[in-house]
Amino acid sequence: MTRSILCDWAGVAMSAGVFPEGAASTSEDLDMVGKSDSERSPASLDRARKKQLASEEGARTMAQFQTEAVNVRKNMERLRALRLAKEAKAESDAQTAAENAPPAKKKSRKKA
């Protein structure tokens, strides 16, 4: 693939914000296409290493976030079930108490 075609493709991908896995994403990366590690500068290698570490850290953070979100949803479901059971028991106790209560006495009026 020639450099001009690669640059044209990268320009389209950059404007769309879409890159396939492992594709060059910056003009600096485009310059490094086809070069071996021995031909790349130490600064370039350092930037690539930092980029890789940031990507891995982002993946770990996202996985941790998703795990915590699942745990929160499970806890919310458990607490909701407890609350509903408590409310149902309270309603049942109130109905039982109302059924077992003696009828209210009528107050007699004094005749004057």
Low-confidence residues in the chain, pLDDT < 50: 1, 6
Phi-psi region of 49 (alpha: psi -120 to 50; beta: other; left: phi over 0): alpha
Measured CA distances, 111 to 35, 49, 108 (Å):
113, 101, 9
What pLDDT shows up at residue 11? 56
What pLDDT shows up at residue 78? 98
Cβ pair 23, 13 in contact under 8 A: yes
